[in-house]
Chain A
Amino acid sequence: MRAVKLCTSVLAAFLAINTLSARQQTATPSEVGDGQQLFIANCAVCHGPDGDSVPGVDLGHGKFKRASSYDNLVEVIRDGVPGTGMPAFSKDLSDLEMRTIVAYFRFMAATAYSTSAPGDPVRGKAIFEGKVECLNCHRVKDKGSRFGPELTEIGAVRRMIELERSLLEPNAEILLQNRLIRLVTRDGVTITGRLLNQDTFTVQLIDSKERLHSLQKSSLKEYAFLDKSPMPTYRDKLNPRELADLVSYLVSLKGIGGQ
């Protein structure tokens, strides 16, 4: 289950990080992507997907116990920390791979903080379920619609800055697994839904009424991806405090065992 969660995390975060990394100069998109994969494969088991599971260490925010600098961090990865749970990776990772992981840490730290002030997740939950009506399209645990992306563990797989951007600019980035598709059957029936899978002959999707469809492509006369998200922007619908509260609530959603 953990593995599934981490895989989802990688997939979900991947495009976002590639996009964001174009704005900063500390690492190339490929370094960030590779670093993330290496991090997930080697580090996240103990340090958590956000790098903050070991007390006193927050890898995504430049907070370390043993390393005094990023350069020093490569040595810690290579040699480990005797007497602690931190093993030496000298036999498992090349120097390049260790430097790539550190480049990912640099990226994490450089993009860690939202421009919003930290909000109140309790107020954020009320906004989520009330004013903004997020549950009309999204689901958290056993509440809400399954049509849009599931948010039960969104705080574990997306970062604050990414969540804020999704609220303000929902079309800036649509992850592959959140793509919508519009189909018209030869009988003239139109079906719009979130794409779940497709192959040469068939397509699978879930529609807004949470019905699962599996159709033969030969039965369709139209098959088109929808490039715009049905989610509206909340730029003018939430004030900065409400936005911060809502983002704080989303960040608090860490999965079925979380809040």
Chain B
Amino acid sequence: MNARAPLLVSIILSSLLSASISSGQVSFERILGADKEPENWLTYSGTTLSQRHSLLNQITPANVKNLELQWIYQARSLEKFEATPLVVDGIMYTVQAPNDVIALDAATGRIFWTYSHHPEHGRPCCGRVNRGLAILHDILFMGTLDAHLIAIDAKSGHPLWETTVASARSAYTITHAPLVIKDKVIVGTAGGEFGIRGFLAAYDTRTGKEVWRFNTIPGPGEPGHETWGGDSWKTGGGSLWMTGSYDPVLNLTYWGVGNPSPDWNGDDRPGDNLYSDSVIALDADTGKLKWYYQFSPHDEFDYDAVQVPVLADMEWQGRPRKVILWANRNGFFYVLDRATGQFLLAKPFVEVTWASGFDEKGRPALVPGKIPSAEGTLISPGNPGGTSWYSPSYSPRTGLFYIPAWVNSSSMFVKAAVEYREGRNYAGGTTRSTIPFNWSPAPNFRKEEEGYGAVRAVDPHTGEMKWEFKMADVTEAGILTTASDLLFSGGREGYFFALDARTGELLWKAAVGAAVQSGPMTYSVNGKQYVAVNAGTCLFVFGLRQ
């Protein structure tokens, strides 16, 4: 939309917005058609396809240099600020870690209300964080650090119901944004460093009652149980750290599953350890498994499939195909058929030393000796991975898949015996990484060959890198692309920037003063486009100078 939109258009838009606000209803049809109302951001990754690609185009490569700060929200929390906000008809909803829901005027940052949940327990491995909310009609849904699911009235901030999803005393937790499908809200449990047995469950959005459950670590009688030796399935991990995706035509929901427990010692869990480190495709109505693909069978590197499943429709070898694009923590970029799970392509997007290739079904060929050992074994990518939970993006316009990557990163993987005790660390060893992850910003003394961060643009048809934007330090920032071929991202060193999505050229940057540890998003209010991102403990909102 042109920045000088005629007054009449603004008036019409305003009246439409007013109407929407008064109705206050975010139907599931609106969520499915979220790309048709790009002024809003109705689900974690923008749409249920999770491309984190917006059709807004007011901010362009030509005018992005005129971006300036519009407002800041300073969180009353010192935890990492990882949430992606939702925006519905001019109102923004976000989560201040660990579990405070905030409703703000998306144009000014002024607060309407705050709802606070104080988790009594909750011991996640990697920060007391929350990545966001889901909405349906006028109800917001939040998973909590102590593994509850709470429904909150979107206008008043009052809780409507609260369900205990799992036991926080056993180190179950929820950090991702829930996913609404039809009349259900879906959340999964995390805690793989503490020997949980993970599951994904759907709850009735009106009552909070569980409708179906899928165990990511199958029990006796469930398919895949045979891939666990002895009783190891009882403490097998299989976390859900990130929000899944949904294909309404196939009625399948896709989720990435985390590492098996213990992380770095697989001696007591012989077998492939399904469905750890897998993408699972479930019938959205029943939770029944349609297919799975395991990226890292019998993983001993903590290579969680902790990524957002990105769904795309593209020409594949001469015919249209519905695919999933996936840059995995294990260093490979994958393309799968999302109707069948068929393995189509895998190619490293960073250095990989643990696997040398794949068979035709997509099973990786392990490199002999590249396993954790008592003395320590050097393996790439390192424990932080070639990427991790940071949202990638796919632009249907450029046809490129964009990955927040850790380059030249490796770790010594050390294996040790470990005994399960409820709620206690159950990692089975340790790692020593060339670049630590999950650190606060610190002076950077490294040379490029000792590790750096990058936005890497990959052609999904070949897995070839088309360009990269290098950063001196690594990145824990997600990526947003827009219909004007802009790419927004950031990094640990505290810049938020815009690139040309076709070439990787730097077009604009802002020093935000702390690590960007969230996925950027965009929305518009009264015809003005905004771009929002968290850095440090603040939410920054940018718009064009007027």
Instruction: Kindly report which residue of chain B lies nearest to residue A14, judged by CB atoms.
Output: B432
Q: Please state if A176 and B470 are interface contacts (CB–CB under 8 Å).
A: no
Q: Please state if A198 and B414 are interface contacts (CB–CB under 8 Å).
A: no
Residues of chain A within 8 A (CB-CB) of B443 are 177, 196-197
The reply to whether the CB of B78 lies closer than 8 angstroms to some CB of chain A is no
The reply to whether the CB of B412 lies closer than 8 angstroms to some CB of chain A is yes
What are 9 A-B contacts with C-beta separation under 8 Å?
Answer: A29-B412, A30-B430, A31-B430, A33-B432, A94-B425, A96-B418, A96-B425, A97-B425, A177-B443
Q: Please state if B473 and A195 are interface contacts (CB–CB under 8 Å).
A: no
Residues of chain B within 8 A (CB-CB) of A198 are 444-445, 472
User: In whole angstroms, how far apart are the Cα atoms of A100 and B429 in the complex?
Assistant: 10
Interface mask (A226-244 → B, CB under 8 Å = 1, otherwise 0) = 0000000000000000000
The reply to whether the CB of A150 lies closer than 8 angstroms to some CB of chain B is no
The reply to whether the CB of A113 lies closer than 8 angstroms to some CB of chain B is no
Q: Please state if B430 and A176 are interface contacts (CB–CB under 8 Å).
A: no
The reply to whether the CB of B272 lies closer than 8 angstroms to some CB of chain A is no
User: In whole angstroms, how far apart are the Cα atoms of A165 and B91 in the complex?
Assistant: 62
Residues of chain B within 8 A (CB-CB) of A97 are 425
Known: A28-B414, A30-B431, A33-B432. A179 touches B444 (CB 8 A): no
In whole Å, how far is B338's beta carbon from the nearest beta carbon of chain A? 36
Residues of chain B within 8 A (CB-CB) of A28 are 374-376, 414
Q: Please state if B495 and A94 are interface contacts (CB–CB under 8 Å).
A: no
In whole Å, how far is B499's beta carbon from the nearest beta carbon of chain A? 12
Q: Please state if B445 and A30 are interface contacts (CB–CB under 8 Å).
A: no
Give the B-binding residues of A (Cβ under 8 A): 18, 28-31, 33-34, 94-97, 100, 176-177, 179, 195-201, 225
The reply to whether the CB of B419 lies closer than 8 angstroms to some CB of chain A is yes
Instruction: Kindly report which residue of chain A lies nearest to residue B452, judged by CB atoms.
Output: A200
Instruction: Kindly report which residue of chain B lies nearest to residue A18, judged by CB atoms.
Output: B432
The interface size of chain B toward A, counting residues with CB under 8 Å, comes to 29
Q: A30-B414, A96-B417, A199-B494 are in contact. List 20 more A-B contacts (CB 8 A).
A: A28-B376, A29-B376, A29-B432, A30-B376, A94-B418, A96-B418, A100-B430, A176-B445, A176-B446, A177-B443, A177-B445, A197-B444, A199-B471, A199-B472, A199-B493, A199-B495, A200-B493, A200-B495, A201-B509, A225-B447
User: In whole angstroms, how far apart are the Cα atoms of A197 and B494 in the complex?
Assistant: 13
Known: A94-B425, A96-B418, A176-B445. A200 touches B471 (CB 8 A): yes
Instruction: Kindly report which residue of chain A lies nearest to residue B421, judged by CB atoms.
Output: A94
The reply to whether the CB of B491 lies closer than 8 angstroms to some CB of chain A is yes
Instruction: Kindly report which residue of chain B lies nearest to residue A34, judged by CB atoms.
Output: B430
Q: Which of B351-394 contact A (CB under 8 A)?
A: 374-376
Q: Which of B441-496 contact A (CB under 8 A)?
A: 443-447, 470-473, 491, 493-495
User: In whole angstroms, how far apart are the Cα atoms of A33 and B472 in the complex?
Assistant: 25
Residues of chain A within 8 A (CB-CB) of B17 are none
User: In whole angstroms, how far apart are the Cα atoms of A94 and B424 in the complex?
Assistant: 7
User: In whole angstroms, how far apart are the Cα atoms of A195 and B446 in the complex?
Assistant: 10
5 smallest A-B Cβ distances: which pairs? A176-B445, A199-B493, A30-B414, A197-B443, A30-B432
User: In whole angstroms, how far apart are the Cα atoms of A98 and B509 in the complex?
Assistant: 46
Give the A-binding residues of B (Cβ under 8 A): 374-376, 412, 414, 416-419, 421, 424-425, 430-432, 443-447, 470-473, 491, 493-495, 509
Residues of chain A within 8 A (CB-CB) of B425 are 94, 96-97
User: In whole angstroms, how far apart are the Cα atoms of A95 and B416 in the complex?
Assistant: 11
User: In whole angstroms, how far apart are the Cα atoms of A125 and B376 in the complex?
Assistant: 42
Q: Please state if A201 and B495 are interface contacts (CB–CB under 8 Å).
A: yes
Residue from B424, B431, B432, B494 having most chain A Cβ neighbours under 10 A: B432
Residues of chain B within 8 A (CB-CB) of A33 are 432
Instruction: Kindly report which residue of chain B lies nearest to residue A37, judged by CB atoms.
Output: B430
User: In whole angstroms, how far apart are the Cα atoms of A197 and B414 in the complex?
Assistant: 31
Instruction: Kindly report which residue of chain A lies nearest to residue B497, judged by CB atoms.
Output: A200
Residue from A18, A197, A225 having most chain B Cβ neighbours under 10 A: A197
In whole Å, how far is B506's beta carbon from the nearest beta carbon of chain A? 9
Residues of chain B within 8 A (CB-CB) of A201 are 495, 509
Residues of chain B within 8 A (CB-CB) of A30 are 376, 412, 414, 430-432
User: In whole angstroms, how far apart are the Cα atoms of A106 and B446 in the complex?
Assistant: 31
Q: Please state if A95 and B419 are interface contacts (CB–CB under 8 Å).
A: yes
User: In whole angstroms, how far apart are the Cα atoms of A199 and B418 in the complex?
Assistant: 40
Residues of chain B within 8 A (CB-CB) of A34 are 430, 432
User: In whole angstroms, how far apart are the Cα atoms of A176 and B436 in the complex?
Assistant: 14
Known: A30-B431, A96-B416, A200-B470. A195 touches B375 (CB 8 A): no
In whole Å, how far is B79's beta carbon from the nearest beta carbon of chain A? 19
User: In whole angstroms, how far apart are the Cα atoms of A201 and B444 in the complex?
Assistant: 13
In whole Å, how far is B194's beta carbon from the nearest beta carbon of chain A? 11
Contact among B374, B416, B432, B491 with A200 in the assembled complex (CB-CB below 8 Å) = B491
User: In whole angstroms, how far apart are the Cα atoms of A197 and B425 in the complex?
Assistant: 35
In whole Å, how far is B488's beta carbon from the nearest beta carbon of chain A? 15
User: In whole angstroms, how far apart are the Cα atoms of A96 and B494 in the complex?
Assistant: 36
Instruction: Kindly report which residue of chain A lies nearest to residue B469, judged by CB atoms.
Output: A200
Known: A199-B495, A200-B471, A200-B491. A179 touches B431 (CB 8 A): no
User: In whole angstroms, how far apart are the Cα atoms of A196 and B418 in the complex?
Assistant: 40
Instruction: Kindly report which residue of chain A lies nearest to residue B426, judged by CB atoms.
Output: A94
Residues of chain A within 8 A (CB-CB) of B431 are 30
In whole Å, how far is B301's beta carbon from the nearest beta carbon of chain A? 14
Instruction: Kindly report which residue of chain B lies nearest to residue A178, judged by CB atoms.
Output: B445
